[in-house]
Amino acid sequence: MNKGSKIRLLTAGLCVGAAAAAFTPSTASGAGAVVARGGLVELNASGVHGQVTIIDQDGQLRVDLDAHNLEANGHLEHLHGFGDGTQAHCPDASLAGPDGILSFADGLPAYGPPVITFGHDEIAGSTLAYSRTFDQTMAGQPVSTLGAIHQYVVVVHGMTLPDGTYDETLPVACAVLTTR
Ligand SMILES: [Cu+2]
């Protein structure tokens, strides 16, 4: 065993110890969980609305997403943010620039890059609803490396542009997350 793996094992042992100390048998259900909720607010006048709940517990994120008034087509849903404590925001329409269309890139200064893909879904109707659990980021890191969940926002993408082409990456709704 090399020195590096010994240190990692010791760190893991300490984490287990800390978790055990904080565990209270009488509140076994949901102990240590952080619950973040947010309302999906439309972008690009999409009319899309809905609700997102993220439960951060035991190194896993459970994502309950419920979005309505979507186009029957392909959609991407991500957790977006900067991951360094910088608060991500839902983009203001003014970021759209002269063309009035808030592109994926236009929104980046506000919402930051995607850090977890919650889904890439082809829908036949106008509703997208699921509960999915994630233990890794897009970069392959444990979700525990994300830090406080409320520094991130959830963005739903996918809408037809005025020229008639479908843009799967166009932001159509965004949710700020609050934990209380
Ligand atoms: Cu996204």
The most distant pair of C-alpha atoms in the chain lies apart, rounded to whole Å, by: 61
Can you give the pLDDT at residue 32? 83
pLDDT given at position 175: 98
Distance 47 CA to ligand 1 centre (A): 17
Q: Go through the chain and tell me how many residues it has.
A: 180
The model's pLDDT over 32-45, given as tens digits with 9 standing for 90+, comes to: 899 999 999 999 99
Rounded average pLDDT over 108-116:
98
Per-residue pLDDT at 31 = 63
- Which of 89, 36, 33 is CA-nearest to residue 63? 36
Residue 51 · residue 88 · CB < 8 Å:
no
Q: pLDDT (tens digit, 9 = 90+) per residue, 1-27?
A: 344 333 333 333 333 333 333 343 333
Q: What residue segments make up the domains of the chain, in order of their start?
A: 1-29, 33-176
**Pairing outcome for strands 49-57 and 60-68:** antiparallel
Token pair for residue 74? 């392909």
81 CA from centroid of ligand 1 (Å): 10
More confident residue, 107 or 23: 107
Strand (E) or helix (H) holding 104: helix 104-111
Assigned token pair, 107: 């929104």
Architecture of domain 33-176: Sandwich (2.60)
CB–CB of 72/125 below 8 Å? Answer: yes
Task: Give the pLDDT of residue 2.
Answer: 40
What integer pLDDT is reported at residue 180 of this predicted model?
76
Q: Which amino acid, one-letter code, is at 165? A: T
Query: pLDDT category, 158, cuts 50, 70, 90?
Result: very high
Distance 16 CA to ligand 1 centre (A): 33
Q: What is the 108 CA–ligand 1 centroid distance (Å)?
A: 9
- Tens digits of per-residue pLDDT, 80-98? 999 999 999 999 999 998 9
How many angstroms is it from 26 CA to the middle of ligand 1?
39
Q: Which amino acid is at 81?
A: G
Distance 154 CA to ligand 1 centre (A): 7
The stretch 152-174 carries a mean pLDDT of: 97
